[in-house]
Structure 1
Amino acid sequence: DKIGLFETTTVVHAVGFGVALITMLIWGNGSLKRVSEVNKLYLLGGAFGVIIVYSVMRGMSLLGTAYSIEIQLVAQLIVATIIDTFGLFGVPQIKFDVTKPLGILLMIAGIIVFKLKG
């Protein structure tokens, strides 16, 4: 908040990179030499991380912490359901059934109940 949303997002990811780098150096057993062989779609994870961190922080300043996180969780669950249903990014396809949208609707109802003024 004090340095700006984009600046905070950058700092958050720089700290995350530092922790990931240290963790890799201590416990890593793979090889960065093979990074060119990684499915290019997987590299979008970093971009999605930036979008998620930025939107959570922006949402927190506009809506409050709990409401912002609740909305983000529902949005991520919807995207994850789409990925699973269609087997995107090489994940095993998971059959879509009535329980999936019901669960999402239940979460949305929970957000509405949570936000009711008592």
Structure 2
Amino acid sequence: MKGSIFAVAGGAFLTLQGVANARISQSIGTWQTATITQLTGFVAALLILLLVRDGSWSGFRQVKPWYLAGGAFAALIIFSNITAMKQVGVTLTVSALLISQLCLTFVIDSNGWFGVMKKKMRLPQFIGIAMMIAGVVILKL
């Protein structure tokens, strides 16, 4: 239950961040907005880390360098979302984002990439993705 609440909160914050970033970028530019967003996100995460103090840094050297690129991906995510929201609006952007995430996670699960347990995808999963894509097409009309 707790995981579901965090997932819903994450989705809501992702949308709010995208809308705020699109507004900010109208005044200062897209890459400037991405920079500010990354900086304020770093400061917020650092403050939370200092307050909560969970986990440890001892396993840092065991993390594969590829996984450490997650922060760099965030800059590309911010840029892509801002640009998409300006061009196609919030609803279509978030819908396409969700479908993109679902399709990529589908491929990752199917192939067992990044150390996840390989899962066989069946017809219901294909139908679910097709229904989401159909929903976005309907939204666009």
Regarding TM over 0.5, the answer is yes
Tell me the residue number matched to 1:105. Answer: 130
Q: Structure 2: how far apart are the matches of 1:62 and 1:80?
A: 26
Could you report, residue by residue, the CA deviation over 1:7-41 in whole angstroms, capped at 9, with x for unpaired residues?
Answer: 11111111111111111111123233542221222
Contact 1:41 1:89 in 2 (8 A): no
TM-score, normalization: structure 2? 0.75
TM-score of the two chains, using structure 1 as the length reference? 0.88
Task: Report 1 or 2 for greater relative contact order, CA contacts < 8 Å, sequence distance ≥ 6.
Answer: 2
Q: List runs of 5+ in structure 2 lacking aligned partners.
A: 1-24
User: How much does 1:52 deviate?
Assistant: 1.5
SS of 1:32's partner is coil
**Pairs within 5 Å for 1:22-101:** 22-101=47-126
CA drift of 1:69 comes to 1.2
User: Are the counterparts in 2 of residues 9 and 53 from structure 1 also a CA contact under 8 Å?
Assistant: yes
Instruction: Describe the superposition over 1:39-98 as per-residue Cα deviations: whole angstroms up to 9, x where unpaired.
Output: 222212222222221111100011111111111111111111111111111112221212
Q: Residue 8 in 1 paired to residue 49 in 2?
A: no
Residue 20 in 1 paired to residue 45 in 2?
yes
**Greater helix content:** 2
**Identity, % of aligned pairs?**
34
User: After the TM superposition, which segments of 4 or more aligned residues of structure 1 sit over 4 Å from their partners?
Assistant: none
Distance in 2, matches of 1:71 and 1:33, equals: 38
In 2, Cα distance between the equivalents of 1:70 and 1:44?
A: 25
Q: Is there any run of 5+ residues in structure 1 with no aligned partner, and where? A: none
Q: How many residues align?
A: 116
Inter-partner Cα distance in structure 2 for 1:106 and 1:72: 15
Give the deviation of 1:106 after TM superposition: 0.6
